[in-house]
Structure 1
Amino acid sequence: MGVSTSAPQEGITVVTVDFPPVNALPVQGWYELAAAVRATGGDPTVRCVVLTAEGRGFNAGADIKEMQRTAGYDALIGANRGCYEAFAAVYECEVPVVAAVHGFCLGGGIGLVGNADVIVAADDAAFGLPELDRGALGAATHLSRLVPQHLMRALYYTSRTVTAQELHRHGSVWRVVPREQLHDAALELAREIAAKDGSLIRLAKAAINGIDPVDVRRSYRFEQGFTFEANLGGIADKHRDAFVPVEQEER
């Protein structure tokens, strides 16, 4: 359980997230993920990173149970800072990051894939931000990188999900494959990227980030301020308690 790395072939590192049962990451998990991605990107022998997950889905966001069983705001602040670091680590990774997504990709999962360079998805993948139903606000910055503006707003306000096939039609998912082929499809693309000159691929990543029209770190940090306002106003706890009663046992 946790975050692990492997090197299936020269130039490629796979970073795997595994936090059963649904990959809802605790505070420490976000920091572990950030550290793994930064360390991998900093390795001069690596030319492409594949970000993937074990279990039922790619990512279910932050561990709301951890927030509700922790007195005060420490877990909430930790989750916000941890997400901020993990998202930034993916975006700022010195080499391209290919996200291999299966099952659900929700909340913080959108932050991860929205900051990745390319997304390969299984045909059972669904993407969405249930933030309003969980007493939070955030990651619209990253959802905006996956769908057009008005669709992003509709998805955000309703907490609905969108399928991998729909994102493929919008051009934000590179390829949709049967779930059993996801790993191979992601590695196939990673091999093509890793075949490039290592120095040039790093320059290319820096150049592309440099021409982004939106500063994703500032934009997401702005959103996080409204999450804290919702918490200080007592709105957020009400919704989190409705989703996961504090007395409920661990899944």
Structure 2
Amino acid sequence: MYQSLNYQKQGPVSVIQINRPQKKNSLNTELRHEMEEVMREIAADAKQRAVILTGGEEIFCAGADISEIEGAASAEAAYQHAREFQILFEQLEALPQPVIAAVSGYALGGGCELALACDFRIASDTARFGLPEIKIGAFPGGGGTQRLPRLIGTAKAKEMILIGDPITAEQALAVGLVMKVTPKARLMEEANAFAVKLASLPRLALQASKMLINRSQEMDLASGLELEARSFGAIAHTHDLAEGTKAFMEKRKPNFTGD
């Protein structure tokens, strides 16, 4: 059905795999459109509780397809190209389900920015993360200058972006870019185990928590607290909150339904 990605549902977990090995899993217009279609389907499916995004064993994603960038003949065309992928990453970030990037091999340029738009990153010990655009006279145009400093701090983000050298999985773990490093052979097993754990949690509370944390980056404290309180009120009469409270009192495991 899809030309540039593989998509499957494994119970409550959706798995998206970038599949352009002949182009080093680079991001092009076709892949963008296919990802947008898949994300619309996932967002509308309440039975899908978590998402894994992955690539190949040697290359997660090598960034933007250079042949398309070369076709941007004007400042306006380059702007539009950047915005198209910024919007794609915003859609990924805004998915109601938590998204896990399972990264093996190189995640460079737009590939690194793609991983940054996910909620969690689990890396194989062979993973390398980098924003090397400075070395060709450019800089990250898919959100890297905005998301990376929010995630790892300004100083380290400047080092990665202004120098452009990639970092190892262990270095990424040390600065908080990834949550876990695992042997390559166990990457998908670890990602799936974490996704299943997320999928077992109360859906509405999980979605609200993700939304509130994401929105906290753009709101002042007073506005954020107001939104938090409003959202807390919105889940007050959900089945899962009642079930979770009852299970706690009865000292048993809750049976969450997602409602």
Secondary structure in structure 2 of the residue aligned to 1:58: strand
Instruction: Name 2:118's counterpart in structure 1.
Output: 116
Q: What SS is found at the alignment partner of 1:142?
A: helix
Partner of 2:10: 8
What is the Cα deviation at residue 212 of structure 1?
A: 2.3
Whole-Å Cα distance in 2 between the matches of residues 142 and 110 of structure 1?
Answer: 11
CA distance in 2, matches of 1:20, 1:82: 22
What is the RMSD computed on CA atoms of the aligned residues? 2.1
Contact 1:121 1:182 in 2 (8 A): yes
**Contact 1:128–1:160 (8 Å) recurs in 2:** yes
SS at match of 2:107: strand
Q: How big is each residue's C-alpha offset from its partner over 1:112-165, in whole Å with a ceiling of 9 and x where there is no partner?
A: 111211110000101110111233322221222442311211121111111111
Instruction: Please tell me whether residue 188 in structure 1 is matched to residue 189 in structure 2.
Output: no
Q: CA deviation at 1:191?
A: 0.6
d(CA) in 2 for partners of 1:214, 1:23: 35
Higher Cα Rg, which structure: 2
Match of 1:209 among 181, 205, 214: 214
Higher RCO (Cα < 8 Å, 6 or more apart): 1
Kindly, what percent of the aligned residue pairs are identical? 29
Distance 1:67 1:214, change over 3 A: farther
Structure 2 residue runs without a partner (length 5+): 221-259
| Alignment partner, residue 19 of structure 1 | 20
Cα gap change, 1:55 to 1:34, in 2 (>3 Å): farther
Alignment of 1:76-91 (within 5 A): 76-77=78-79, 79-91=81-93
**AA matched with 1:170:** V
Paired position in structure 2 for 1:60 = 62
| Residue aligning to 2:168 | 163
Shift in CA distance, 3/142, structure 1 to aligned 2, threshold 3 Å: same
Partners of 2:219 and 2:135 lie apart in 1 by 26
Asked if 1:102 is matched to 2:96, the reply is no
After TM superposition, the structure 1 stretch with the greater mean CA deviation from structure 2, 119-128 or 54-63, is: 54-63
Q: Give how far 1:50 is off.
A: 0.6
1:4 and 1:120 map into 2 onto residues whose CA distance is: 19
Q: Secondary structure at the match of 1:144?
A: helix
- What TM-score results when the alignment is normalised by the length of structure 1? 0.77
- Render the CA deviation track for 1:6-48: whole Å, top value 9, x for unaligned: 1122x11011111123111112322322332233123111111
Alignment partner, residue 225 of structure 1: none
Q: Whole-Å Cα distance in 2 between the matches of residues 180 and 123 of structure 1?
A: 10
Conserved in 2, the CA contact under 8 Å of 1:62 and 1:79? no
Contact 1:115 1:142 in 2 (8 A): yes
Corresponding position: 1:178 with 2:183: yes
TM-score by length of 2: 0.75
Change (3 A) 1:80 1:152: same
User: Does 1:33 pair with 2:35?
Assistant: yes
Which residue of 2 is the match for residue 247 of structure 1?
none
Q: After TM superposition, where is structure 1 displaced by more than 6 Å over at least 4 residues in a row?
A: none
How many Å apart are 1:5 and its aligned residue? Answer: 1.4
Q: Which amino acid in 2 is paired with 1:25?
A: L
- Is the Cα contact below 8 Å between 1:62 and 1:107 reproduced in 2? yes
Matched positions, count: 213
